[in-house]
Structure 1
Amino acid sequence: MTQRTRTIRNAALVGVSTALLGITAPVTASAAPERGSSESLAWGACEGAGLDPRQQCATLRVPMDHADPDSPRIDIAVSRIPSEKPAARRGVLLLIAGGPGGSSLNDPSGKGQKLPQDVRDTYDLVGFAPRGLAPSTSVDCGLDHGDLATSRLRPWPAPDGSVDENMATARRMAEACARNGGELIRHLSTANEARDIDRLRAALGERRISAWGTSYGTYVGAVYAQKFPHRTDRFVLDSVDDPDPARVNRAWLAAHEQGVEDTFPHFAAWASEPGNPDRLARTAAEVRPMFLRLAARLDREPLPWPGANPAELNGNVLRQTMLDSLYSPGRYPTLARLMRAAQEGTVPPAPQAPPEAVLQNVTAVGAGTLCNDVAWPTSRAVYEKGVAESRAKYPLTAGMPRNAMLCAAWPYPPREAPVRITDEGPSNVLLVSNERDVATPLAGALRMREALGRRAVLVTVDSTGHNPYLANGNACGDRTASRFLATGQRPGADVRCD
């Protein structure tokens, strides 16, 4: 697989999950062990171009159903780069990707190399593709091409606020997943990912593991630390999800309304800066009404957009582009240029989509996890009420964060209750969150901090964007997290990094 193909795969999935990987076929491990025994890993070369030559790959076999001793085994693709200074090695640092539907399989070669030298000396860097996500044993819902549009996967209401089409779309997509997803899609969940991680820990021969989880990976890390507290060493949870056990994933979707409100003023200030080649207005105050007017106009009069999915630029496509672009200040030009083109009645070249098979796989993993973790309301009235309230209070997101995803029609009840995160366990968690984060607003991090109690310390970073540590944060936040991973030294209380 070429570097260009991997880049396409990684770049286009913000609305579905986080980054994908480019490794195709890891070495197969030994046959499934007896229940309760340790799986061994047969490490070998990874396939794919552009990887660090030190990265090794293997396959771990785990039960599809951890509660069934006779359950079929499925494959979990695993990678690692060993500690760069064996004499200083403490253990393994598991890289847990966002999503659901993201993978850390190429992260030892990728973002893992951004870690300071003393952290890379301290740990083997370990990545994995979660259950259901290729090249692990994969799932696919066989969705219609149109339903793979990001503005369709995000449940944007109709221009008048109606959720009728969203409910119909939810039924169609859920039926496709039930028809084509096989038995595995029923066993995708955060709790099962945590169980898979503990199988991986044992296979690596480690008594405890450290972890760096980002976005959805923070919830995975928190669930693992709740289910296996004495198997944890040093945990950094970066861009922290709200662990509300009553809503779980619904709370994450709802968080976008506040996340956009927190972040859009930063975009508006950037879009009004003198000398900015993508400047939209003379003052920041002009940008918000400009966006709202343009979205309303595109609701009424969409522009044809050949090659895009959907093949038109309508108000919801503009809103989805806004949401995607606020993930990082580096993406602001994408939104500004689309707004300028639309104001002139034109469109830029259609964004290049990843291969459809990749979209199908990522979407199925996301759907299975989101819908199996917690029961979603099935009543149209619940979503109608939520959308109306959200549209009135948060016009930028037009009701989407409280709308009906395909989980509203999911045919399978959850197999277990969501994990409740508590303060029972060792005090070894560092939370890192930006003040302005469109996807995981600071409010969610504060709820995770409250749930973990004495187990955690929160680092609030005065920065904008998703994933503060070594990405969209600042030097103070980066130093604090790196020092904790390398030495175990953690602030004695919550801190703010200006």
Structure 2
Amino acid sequence: MKRRRAAVVAAMLGLASSVVAPTATAQQPGPAWGPCPADVKTETVALECATIPVPLNYSDPGGEQIELMVSRLASKNPAKRRGVLMLNPGGPGGSGLAFPDFLASRGMPTSVLDSYDVIGMDTRGIGHSSPVSCGFTPDQDYLGNIPPYAVDEAAVAEQAESAKRIAEQCAAHDDGRFRHLSTANMARDLDSVRAALGEEKTSYLGYSYGSALGSAYASMFPERSDRIVVDSNLADTHLDRDALRRYALGFEQTFPDFAKWVAARHDVYGLGRTPEEVRETYFRTAERLDAAPVNGVDGRVFRLATFAGLYAEVSYGSTAQTWQSVQGEGEAPQPAAAPAPDTDNLWSVFLGVTCNDVDWPSDVGTYQRAVAEDRERYPMYGAASANIFPCAFWGDPAEPPVAIDDQGPANVLVLQNRRDPVTPHRNAEILDEKFGDRSRLVSVEGSGHGVYLLGDNACAFNTTTDFLVGGQLPEENTDCR
């Protein structure tokens, strides 16, 4: 079951004024571009890669340096090229080196590809950029960016013991770099990369956690930010406890789309003829699996698999098959589980950044009360997203979280689906309110995690492309239906 859970989880995915990254200078040599490592798989375009040194600790810029690996999809139209567009696919913990190729394969318009050198990156600690490790193994019971569902107070206490062991395991494997994993330092890294590329400004496109990183960059370096697009938003420059608890809100808001899809296919899946019946099947199955797991799937894994299955409609069929596989004897066979991935680096970075960005409560009772409250408020998943996290035992952040700066240029486009299981629409409303006149919110009447190039809404696609190429924000917040 542990390997199966790891595979399911993997399917999901400051003090700015006191530390300043370098400005571009004529004396700085440019990066030495060459072939990307063999494990950077591309399907559509050929990328080139380079390494760029940055300080481990920006408070000591002349001290120890680490290397970041970046990739480039260069503009083929020098007459139209206007700069660089940096990307982030989310996480924290997701490798971004192949991301320019992925977005090109999703139809990134030629007008955008002509306008920019598109820059991917393994942010610090990830992949080819000085990777860190907590020493996680595939058979460990807890690996993921969301705690397991807690059926009662005792389950929260049990999870607290697991979370504490994980925090201690990461501390035991720390070679001095974990403390410097933070969104603030990753934003400083973006500015160091900008300087190394010889650019006065940089544009940016980031998804999910990438929205927090882009918001931090636009706040720490407002005059060096060009056109900033943040998609599927965390509501701030970091993931905190409130945003984690709102996963449950996203689940409740997005599940009806899945339930409607499944109900329309009752003759195939047999999980309910109406959305209401599908919802009842969810609760009945989860409670039964809490008492007696089937095929290695318990109630925690079943709820998590359903949560992950809401990320995109393309996952609805496989999620329905998973439901079938645990309904009982004579039902459809369980689909083969994907091989358990190497999650050590991914989850190590996720925990390092998330726990270093902001202080988390350490009292177990605080989480027990929150679980009881959210189990009533959001019965489908509230008792998971309110559960205790390793950050409760991590230690104090190195610096305060980056505060949103609403005094910079009006150059932030906020994209958000109305129904998103992990970053609900309320997150984007909060972020847009914090940026004030600097931002415009584009709300999409759609479902799933990801808007630009990941969804199929023409209004959002055109609005975002026009902004990246032409630079004009919408005059007011926009509803794309």
- Which residues of 2 match residues 15-414 of structure 1 at below 5 A? 15=12, 18=13, 38=28, 40-48=30-38, 49-51=41-43, 54-113=46-105, 114-147=107-140, 149-150=142-143, 154-162=146-154, 163-243=156-236, 248-274=239-265, 277-278=268-269, 280-303=271-294, 305=295, 312-345=296-329, 348-356=334-342, 359-410=343-394, 412-414=395-397
Q: What's the TM-score once normalised by structure 2's chain length?
A: 0.91
What do the CA deviations read for 1:65-111 (whole angstroms, capped 9, x no partner)? 11113431111110001112111000011111211111221112221
Q: Secondary structure at the match of 2:434?
A: helix
Distance 2:36 2:137 in 1: 33
Call closer, same or farther: CA 1:52–1:269 in 2, change over 3 Å: closer
Distance 1:350 1:140, change over 3 A: farther
Moved more, 92-101 or 339-348: 339-348
Q: Which moved more, 1:328-337 or 1:376-385?
A: 328-337
Among all aligned residue pairs of Structure 1 and Structure 2, give the percentage whose two residues are the same amino acid: 39
2:10 pairs with 1:13: yes
User: What per-residue deviation string (whole Å, max 9, x for no partner) do you get for residues 381-423 of structure 1?
Assistant: 100000010111111105111111111111x311110111131
Structure 2 Cα separation of the partners of residues 274 and 147 of structure 1: 36
- Secondary structure of the 2:380 match is helix
| Contact 1:39–1:61, Cα closer than 8 Å, also in 2 | no
What do residues 310-345 of structure 1 show as CA deviations (whole Å, max 9, x unaligned)?
xx2000100000110001111111221111121124
Q: Which residue type is aligned with residue 290 of structure 2?
A: D
Q: Distance in 2 between matches of 1:268 and 1:446?
A: 26
- Tell me if the contact between 2:24 and 2:198 (Cα under 8 Å) persists in the aligned partners: no
Runs of 4+ in 1 over 4 A off after TM superposition: 9-12, 33-39
Q: Hey, what's the Cα distance between the residues in 2 that align with 1:51 and 1:10?
A: 24
CA drift at 1:158: 3.7
Aligned-residue offset at 1:280: 2.2
String of CA shifts for 1:256-293, please: whole Å, max 9, x gaps.
11000110111111011157744521111111111001
> Which secondary structure state, in structure 2, belongs to the residue aligned with residue 459 of structure 1?
strand
Q: Is the 8 A contact 2:419 2:448 kept in 1?
A: yes
In the alignment, what sits opposite 2:449?
A: 466
* 1:341–1:348 CA contact under 8 A, matched in 2: yes
How far the C-alpha of 1:161 sits from its partner, in A, is 4.3
Distance 2:276 2:84 in 1: 48
2:479 matches 1:496: yes
Unaligned runs of 5+ in 2: 1-5, 14-21
Residue among 434, 448, 453 paired with 2:417: 434
Query: Secondary structure of the residue that 1:480 maps to in structure 2?
Result: helix
* Contact 2:9 2:304 survives alignment (8 Å): no
Question: d(CA) in 2 for partners of 1:12 and 1:169?
Answer: 17
What letter matches 1:174 in structure 2? A
